Amino acid sequence: MFLKNDNLILGLILGFLAPFLGIVIFYFLKFSGFTFSEFLQVMVMWKTFFTSVITVSLIMDGALFTLYINTNKDQTARGIFIATMIYTIICLILKYAL
């Protein structure tokens, strides 16, 4: 299985996809009565809500990072960490630019 590989590129891919999965999970758990478009509009309008959603989505990266560190897949964990930092910087820029 490709998830067992120790690969920087795999880590980057997982690190960028996991937060989006976190956002989708948050949407289905808390806002399934709204369309996804409405959910995104509310997220952009309310900065505190935006921060909450981003925090939950980054927890997915933290869980993946911990999993790969504990299984000694250091290159994959490094990719996840790099993706998390890039994602976090982009989210901070968006939070203060919107």
CA distance 71 to 6: 10
CA distance 66 to 70: 6
CA distance 17 to 21: 6
pTM of the model as a whole: 0.82
Q: Which amino acid is at 38?
A: E
CA distance 98 to 94: 6
CA distance 98 to 93: 8
pLDDT tens for each residue of the chain, 98 residues long = 666 789 999 999 999 999 989 888 889 988 889 999 999 888 888 878 888 888 888 899 999 999 999 999 999 999 999 999 999 898 888 878 76
The answer to whether 78 and 8 have CB atoms below 8 angstroms apart is yes
Question: Domain segments of the chain: what residues?
Answer: 2-97
